[in-house]
Chains A and B, each alone.
Chain A
Amino acid sequence: MMLLAAVFGPLLFAVLSLAGPVRAARWWCLAGSALTLAIGGAALWDFVARPGADFRLQVEVPWSQVLGASLRFGVDSLSAAMLALSGLITLVATISGFAHERSPRSYHGLVLLLLAAMNAVFVTLDLLVFYVAWEVLLVPMLLLIGLFGGEQRRYAALKFFIYTLAGSVMMLALLVLLWSATPAEGRRVAVPAKAVAAVSVDGGQTLHGLRVERSDQAPGAAPVVLVPRSFDLRHLALQWQSWREVRFLGMPLSAFGFLALLLACLVKVPAVPLHTWLPHAHVQAPTAVSILLAGVLLKLGVYGLYRIALPLFPWEVYTWAPTLGWLGLLGILWGALVALGQRDLKRLVAYSSVSHMGFCLLGFGSLTFAGLAGGMVQAVTHGLSAALLFLLVGVLYDRAHHRRIDGFGGLAQPMPRFAWLLLVAALAGAGLPGLAGFPGEFLGLSGAFTSSAPFPLLGALACLSVILSAAYLLGMVRKVVYGPLQHQEHAQFADCDRRELLAALPLVVGLVVLGVWPKPLVEALRPALEALLLHVRSALS
């Protein structure tokens, strides 16, 4: 029920916000994000307290009997972390958007719609629902950028929409293929006893709701389950071997499916060279939308790799892992280098996102526990640090109405609190130990070092990013807040007010807590990640 509330609650609030009085809109938005945060936080806490690889809070509402699709919701620790992040970031974005005066009803309604779609992506266990939510969330995003954005909002919004849509449209083909490759009466699949033991919640009687059949004649043989035709992700994952046997366009279905999925995810992450929609979207989007975009939307790509690509196509993930690693490295270094050359604050932060998300790919590709954990931790912590950076850029834009780095200088004198917050955000982005940027980066790097060739080399090269990230982030800090006051009219700027501090507070607290002691998060993620690793290993043997 809680998960239904996490998806349909914001949806209901969106309707209420659109239809209700103008003044209530922002409060509906606040309520929707707080609800998500509460549910996500409670779920995550449950995994911290009782670690496990199982899906909890499961709920199933039949949708289409023919298609075998239904609203199957459930969370493991990966999705719980993402759900909590989505709630937190939306809360921050809402608070930062409180001052938004232009048509608040549709603005907050769209934010709620976006939140509902994001939550649906994170909690669904059904590939069809996943795909629908994945595409649906583009619409509110398109409208948020296209209606409330800056001068070039139409260009940026269309580019974002078409680019990401083109990236993910092949997923639809994948759905059809997976559906048509399964016999109507289902498929009998042998599952390694170890995998049954790792995931089953009732001592091996059932697996993901399916009865486990053990042959009495051959006690050593692997247990067998009859998998019905459906879009249940867990059932699709059980048949990973079948996807390798079915052929499509002269290649295994799994190869086609993996590439389709990979394209969709890489555009979202975004991986270089598929990233150029991001700077446009960020520059044109209003502050709150930038916060949502960097804080949650980019994580969808990473989440898709963990949730769909790896379970369904473990063999392909393994063979393509070095490519993913190289793409990650390319993103890390290229994003940082381009960020160094930016003169627009938002564009700089956008490219820093490209660089930081590269660590997710590098860690994921290394297929070690450290790397996988690093990818997830980096996804969460980058959400916090990028959101804080965009929030602060927004604070500056509200006062100066421009974002040119060289149009500022010496703001630490009129705005000391802002200067400290900006320094914290920059240091978190630069991966300073004690702040949350560090664990993700370090785990990603150590995962790469401890993986097989060519990953140690990739890790060694990725070390160079610590130079660049310090240069572009702290260089920006120097130009904006330190030195003598460059423009006398800036002396009148008010320091961060209570609302802005309130928006920044949860992010700063999160950055410090996760930076100093990330153990609870990693321990909560452990069973789920180990199950994924086991899945890859069993695919190799």
Chain B
Amino acid sequence: MIPSWLPVVVLVLPLLAAVLVGLLPRRSPGLAHGLAAALLGAGLCLALWQATAVLGHGQAFVGPHATWLDLGAFTLGVGVYVDAMAAIMAGIVYLLAVLVLLFNRWYMHDDAQAARFPWQFCGFVFAMLGVVLSDNLFLSFCCWELVGLGSYLLIGFWFAKPAASEDPEYQANKGQGARGVLESSLSPSHAQLKAFVTNRIGDAGFLFGIGVFLVLAIGLGRGTDALGWANLRQVVQDPALASVSCFGLSGHALLVLAALGVFAGAVGKSAQFPLHVWLPDAMQGPTTASSIIHAATMVAAGVFLVARCYPMFPPEALAVVGWTGGITCFFAATIACVQWDLKAVLAYSTVSQLGLMFVGLGAGEAAGGRVAGLAHLFTHAMFKCLLFLCAGAVIHACAGHQDLERMGGLRRRMPVVAWTSLMAVLAIAGAPLFSGFFSKDAVLAAGLGAATAEGGLAWGPFVLACAGSLLTSAYMLRWWFSLFGGDERDASVTHHAHDPSGLAKWVLLLLAPFTLALPWTAGGWLEHALAAPGAAHHEGAHGANDSHTLDAHTLGMILALLLLAVGAAFAVAVFGRGRRELAAGLARRFAGLHRCCAELWGIDRLWHRWFVRGLGQRGSATAARIDLGSTQRLAALEAGKPGPDDFESLDGIVDGVARVCGSLGRGGAWFHGGRLGTYLAVAIGIGAFGLWWGLQR
């Protein structure tokens, strides 16, 4: 087995790199990139060693564990746990991190801020590895939040850029895809805030889920390492679970709530409907940052977490997972079809593909959903990273232009980018022999299996995933043909274009083979490795009703091919053959639908209206008015006058009470004001009253 220090080093190395590189002088971006890449490269070797050892051994490795806090009724721990999925994911994270960092050296070679990138990037990688390698839900949550911080820093890398509405460069270059984008709040600094706060909405659910898991663990007397994976698995399997109750909810209902809470976190991080709005904006960051965010870190964290917590997800929660995935998969694909910003297409394709992964996860263990979802996560990481690096190369080559409409014919000027990105496009579309074919087929097969097994509503995610897949091949080929196919449409944009030089080119060439199916399917190693623990027993059952699963598999494969063929045929016919007016005609014909998709289904605007303006501006302003009073009152206080609206706010009540007390005091003071007449009158009055009172008796 592997030495116990290995996973710890694999986890901590990027943090060390972040600290070391962060201490380097700011003037040497080359050194910073080199040192960071070297350290991450060393980490990659260790991660590969770890992966081969864990996969070869076929057993999870339980690493060192320490108690973070002992809180009487329960304890919280920190430690590492490496099973097959963690080992593979860690390897992929490292591989992509090294490659993206090397690519970034070329991408940012003329950026004065470039030296800041490597250490933030390394910190980001560390946080993601924490989510992957953690041995309990608590540590996962901590690293999960740090992933959010990493994305915050990277998205806001060019924080000084103005909002798009005030940016002449953006206004001059913006394509038609800018529709539906809220330009006044589109800038790196807005995008980083939006990403963080949107993620925090999910994280509130995550915290809630952790809280409910704590309730369950303590209710069952399993407080030691309460949130550890092993402990939670036992909590779920405990026959006494049904006896736990809280607020009249049974143990099972609590479990569903806890799982949905954790899933809410995943919805935020993995950009699922309705919390997907941050991801397209996040492209305000450097494209290299996008390529890692969209591939191996950040969005992958949500899918990974759900897969990690799979034993804790009851069927009800999995149904929600599947439906969320299905809806996201479909609607994001429709949006991707009409975007004209070359990165926006990729962003919505990521949202859509993540939805597909959740469809897979939602299908359940029995239908092979977990394996399919994870397989798609891994293959997607590779080809999406490659796609974004190619997009970065194109944007760099075209001097910052991102409008698909003005590109074209780039395959002659940048052949390496063109052909490697074509491989990635074919992979994401799911063409045979490419990795996407293998994993997407698995997801569709799992969805079909679950749908046939359960029937009824379970068909929903599957149908939506099919529709999404159909669109995927269409919009991705449209993307490729618009960039690289046909002839140059706007020479002013593309005439300087050339392939990236040196290492950056090799990064693309190195990533390209991973878009093929062979590295993933050779000997069925991936499915083997990811198979549920106790697989031997499972495989026996597998063999018994092989015909049934084979059916779903074949059907899934045929379906995937069919969807690919239809979408691809459309894209080739319209965009490959230069009949772009056909697409414009279609858009006119279905103007309403087109508008709806171009306006992002109005979801961004709804969030803006209800959350940003409603709660964030009006709601908080109302609260502030109730608390300290109206602006007039505050202005009066500033001017040194008593507020005019006492008793109309919490603070006004305080001042009002003070004023009433003051008036009472002044009233009382009238009696002893030193005026002889008053004293006489009071004395006569009291005397008269006494006389009258005495006479009464």
Contact = CB atoms under 8 A, between A and B. Distances in A.
Interface in B149-182: 149, 152, 156, 159-163, 166
Given A370-B71, A460-B211, A276 B651 contact: yes
Contacts of A337: 619-620, 623
A151 B634 CA distance: 13
Interface residues of A, number: 65
A117 interface: no
Interface in A480-521: 481-485, 518-519
Interface in B377-430: none
B60 interface: no
B29 to A, nearest CB: 16
Given A427-B149, A432-B146, A151 B207 contact: no
A518 B142 CA distance: 14
Interface stretch (B190-198, B232-240, B448-456, B682-690): B190-198
A466 B204 contact: yes
Interface string A449-480: 11001001101100110110011101100100
B218 interface: yes
B247 A471 contact: no
Given A470-B196, A519-B69, A341 B640 contact: no
A139 B244 CA distance: 54
Contacts of B621: 341
A155 interface: yes
A105 B417 CA distance: 71
Contact of A369 (B73, B200, B208, B638): B73
B161 to A, nearest CB: 7
Q: Most A CB atoms within 10 A — which of B71, B617, B638?
A: B71
B145 A432 contact: yes
Given A482-B160, A518-B69, A152 B623 contact: no
A163 B651 CA distance: 11
B197 A471 contact: yes
A70 to B, nearest CB: 35
A522 interface: yes
B27 to A, nearest CB: 14
A339 B210 CA distance: 27
Given A475-B193, A484-B162, A276 B628 contact: yes
Contacts of B149: 427, 432
Nearest to A479: B189
Contact of A338 (B189, B190, B200, B624): B624
A280 B655 CA distance: 12
Contacts of B624: 338, 341-342
A206 interface: no
A470 B202 CA distance: 12
A478 B617 CA distance: 16
The dominant DSSP class at the B interface is: helix
A74 interface: no
Interface in B593-616: 616
B222 to A, nearest CB: 13
A349 interface: no
Contacts of B73: 368-370, 450
A433 interface: yes
A413 interface: yes
B142 A456 contact: no
Interface residues of B, number: 62
A27 to B, nearest CB: 34
A162 B627 CA distance: 19
B72 interface: yes
A364 interface: no
Contacts of A342: 624
B160 A412 contact: yes
B201 interface: yes
B214 A446 contact: yes
A231 interface: no
A470 B200 contact: yes
Interface string A350-378: 00000000000000000011100100000
B584 interface: no
B562 interface: no
A447 to B, nearest CB: 8
B647 interface: no
A372 to B, nearest CB: 9
Nearest to A467: B200
Contacts of B215: 449-450, 456
B212 interface: yes
Contact of A341 (B72, B192, B203, B620): B620
A109 interface: no
B235 to A, nearest CB: 14
Contacts of A471: 197, 200, 616
Interface string B252-265: 00000000000000
A434 interface: yes
B214 A449 contact: yes
A456 B211 CA distance: 8
**Contact residues of A: prevailing secondary structure:** helix
Given A474-B196, A519-B69, A522-B69, A276 B159 contact: no
A102 B70 CA distance: 50
A346 to B, nearest CB: 13
Given A410-B160, A464-B204, A338 B187 contact: no
Contacts of A209: none
Given A369-B72, A370-B72, A483 B162 contact: yes
Nearest to A413: B160
B45 interface: no
A443 interface: yes
A497 to B, nearest CB: 19
* Residue of A338, A413, A530 with most chain B CB atoms under a 10 A cut-off: A338
A56 interface: no
Nearest to A427: B149
Interface string A423-455: 000010000111000110001011111100100
A97 interface: no
B573 interface: no
Contact of B207 (A347, A466, A470, A482): A466
Contacts of A152: 637-638, 640
A341 to B, nearest CB: 3
A240 interface: no
A456 B246 contact: yes
Given A450-B73, A464-B204, A482 B189 contact: yes
Contacts of B628: 276, 279, 338, 347
A192 interface: no
A407 interface: no
Contacts of B70: 522-523
B566 interface: no
B160 A483 contact: yes
Given A338-B627, A466-B200, A163 B654 contact: yes
A159 interface: yes
Contacts of B141: 433
A299 B49 CA distance: 51
B74 interface: yes
Nearest to B612: A471
Interface centre among A277, A459, A478, A518 (most CB of B within 10 A): A478
A280 B640 CA distance: 13
Interface of B: 67-74, 141-143, 145-146, 149, 152, 156, 159-163, 166, 187-190, 192-193, 196-197, 200-201, 203-205, 207-208, 210-212, 214-215, 218, 246-247, 616-617, 619-624, 627-628, 637-638, 640, 650-651, 654, 658
Given A155-B637, A434-B142, A478-B190, 7 more contacts: A370-B72, A439-B69, A450-B214, A459-B211, A460-B208, A467-B200, A482-B192
21 contacts: A152-B637, A155-B637, A276-B651, A279-B628, A334-B627, A337-B620, A338-B624, A340-B620, A340-B623, A341-B617, A341-B620, A370-B73, A433-B146, A438-B142, A443-B71, A464-B204, A466-B200, A466-B204, A466-B207, A470-B196, A523-B70
Q: Nearest 4 CB-CB pairs, A to B? A: A341-B620, A369-B72, A433-B142, A341-B624
